[in-house]
Structures are given as structure tokens and as C-alpha cells.
Amino acid sequence: MAEPKIIELNNGSMQVKVSNLGCTILSLSVPDKDGNLGDVVLGFDTLEPYQKGLAPYFGSIVGRVANRIKDGKFSLNGVDYTLPINKPPNSLHGGHKGFDKAVWEVAEHKEGEHPSVTFKYHSRDGEEGYPGDLSVTATYTLTSKTTLRLDMEAVPANKATPVSLAQHTYWNLGGHNSGDILDNTAQIWANHITPVDQYTVPTGEIMPVKGTPFDFTSEKQIGRDIQQVGLGYDHNYVLDCGDEKDGFKHAAKIKDPKSSRVLDLWTNAPGMQFYTANYVNGVVGKGGAVYNKHAGVCLETQGFPNAINTPNFPSVVVQPGDKYIHNMVYEFSVE
């Protein structure tokens, strides 16, 4: 069995610490407008709290299927599957022991100008209720001075299976210990969201954001309309209007007014869960920092939630012989 360890990627201008435990981004330090490095990721100083399940998916890759599957049930090729109900009444982020709790194999670690690390995981047939063996790889690369790229692939061996991975980092561009993100601005290149029922499962509808508190098509403060959406944002945005670059869509841009740090996210995924850490409450993190509600923002590019049970959503089923490919690019800057 692989042992949990911490690996550092450093190119002289940004520093990222990742672990093979859940493919987790533990810290990511980038300069502010004055050139001061700051860690912009919520998390813990050691691996122990992650192992004990004290993190609400801080920094990890979640799977085999990210987000909620309604009632923990789906049918595929005439077979009914039942998944663990770990967020009643639904199955969330792969079940009791999803990919975020697995120790991945460190397949390759390169240093130099573009340091990278590749993690591999073999998910067994029947693991957490999912069909078929699945081989998964995830590679983090520092592709430029202040850019992190993540490339994820998954290949089913013998049975069709739903696959939808997501990277679940909680970002706070002011610094992980700088309080809430409500004064940050967000722009999300999505004209639609998938509205949800009382249990945060999409209804199947695709709703225009225009004229609603969900509209981030132009830059606005995250906190401006947040009171109008219950606990906060926790919704899947349909990435349907972003510019393209190298085959990736512009998904989101987050800006912190105090540090002037900016994060631009590019992806090939169809959706992105925009989540404002609504359930974070008194988590003691790095350096004794206490993380409370809205202490970070998650930009979880993904297949649409519960797509396996929603015929009008883009399919998340991957056939044997096919390959699931999910890429994202996190570009940091100051402006």
C-alpha cells in the first residue's frame, strides 16, 4: 500500500504542496500586488486531520462521481446500482470512502522549470457501489510562473461507468486566514444554472441566470446577492459563454480587492459547482486559523450533478475503451 506523503512543486515564483492522500492541494502560495507570497488554500498543517475526516473535502479530488446522486441510485445497461447514502437522502462525492480518502500511488515526480507530479489510483469494481474497474491518473504541473494545471484521466476496464471528477479546493485569494470571501468579486461565464430541490439535487431544469441573484456574467461581489440564495451559493453553473483558449473555456475569475490577487480558471468540463463554503463552521486550520462560513470559494469543474439520472444533462457515462479527460488551468495574477 502507498503511504501518505507531501510533495512540493516550486518554480521560484509559486509554491504548491500536494499529497497523494486524495490528490489534495494542501497549500498554494502566490504573490500579491506587493510581491508577498500568501497561501490561498484552506487546509491543515499536517495530513492527520485529512486522514481523520476533519476536512470538508479541502483541496481533494472527489470521485468516482462528484456532487450528489439522487437517493444514491442509478440504472445503467439494465442493472440497478445502489450507492452509500453519506449525505442523506443522497450519495455525495463518491460515497463514504471516495477518491478523496484514498491514498494514490505517486507515479512520477519531476522537478525543474515546470515541476509536476502524477498520481494514480485503481478503483475496483463495486467500490462504493460503482460498476467496473477504473484506472485514474491526475497530474499537477506548474506550467508557468503563476499557473497550475491539473490533468485528470480515467479509463474503465470492463464495464461502462459514470465518471465525474472534481477538484474541491477552497480558495481565499486574500490568504487562507484572511476571513470571508464576500468582498471578493466573481465572474462566471455561464448564462444558466441547474436549479436544485431542497436536498441540493438538480431538478433537471436549465435556468437562465439573467435577472436572478445567480447572475455572475459580469463581475460582481460574491456577497452582494448572497442573502437571496438561502445559505449561500452551492449551484452548478452551465459553462456556456466563455472565451476559449487552447481548447479550454474560461469558467471563472475571482478577484480579491485587498491583495489584488486574481484567479482565472479554464476548463474543458461542461459545468462548475460554485460553492461559498456555507457549511464551514469553526474548523481550525493552518497556523491555528479558524475557518468559518464563507471562508473560501470552491470552483468545482464537473459533469452536471445527478446527470446519471437526468437524461437531458450531458452524459457522464464512460464506456470501456473510451477515456474520460478533464483538464483545468488555474492562472494567478494581480491587477
pLDDT, tens digit (0-9, with 9 covering 90-100), for 70-112: 999 999 999 999 999 999 999 999 999 999 999 999 999 999 9
Q: Is 326 a catalytic residue?
A: no
- CA–CA distances in Å: residue 287 to residues 17, 68, 102, 152, 177: 15, 32, 25, 31, 9
Strands 317-318 and 161-162: antiparallel
Q: Tens digit of pLDDT for each residue in 213-257?
A: 999 999 999 999 999 999 999 999 999 999 999 999 999 999 999
Q: For 298-318, what is each residue's pLDDT tens digit? A: 999 999 999 999 999 999 999
Cα–Cα separations (whole angstroms), residue 185 to 8, 192, 214, 252: 30, 19, 13, 10
- pTM of the predicted structure, to 2 decimals: 0.97
pLDDT at 192: 98
Lookup: cell for 222: 460574491
Count the helices and strands in the chain (H runs, E runs): 1, 30
Instruction: Decide if pLDDT at 184 tops 80.
Output: yes
* CA distance linking residue 124 with residue 120, whole number of Å: 13
Alpha-helical (H) ranges within the chain are 48-51
Residue-averaged pLDDT of the chain:
97
1 has pLDDT over 80: no
pLDDT, mean of residues 138-152 = 98
Task: Decide if 128 is catalytic.
Answer: no
Architecture of the domain defined by 6-334: Distorted Sandwich (2.70)
> Which band of pLDDT confidence, cut at 50, 70 and 90, is reported for residue 150?
very high
Q: Which residue has the cell 464506456?
A: 319
Phi/psi of residue 51, nearest 5 degrees: -65, -30
Residue 2: pLDDT band with limits 50, 70, 90: confident
Q: 127, 128, 168, 192: which one is catalytic? A: 168
Closest to 150 (Cα-Cα) out of 265, 298, 42 = 265
Is the C-alpha dihedral spanning 195, 196, 202, 205 positive or negative? negative
Omega of the bond prior to 89 within 30 degrees of 0, cis?
yes
Is the CB of residue 199 less than 8 Å from the CB of residue 171?
no
Catalytic residue among 235, 250, 294, 300: 300
Q: Percentage of the chain with pLDDT > 70?
A: 100
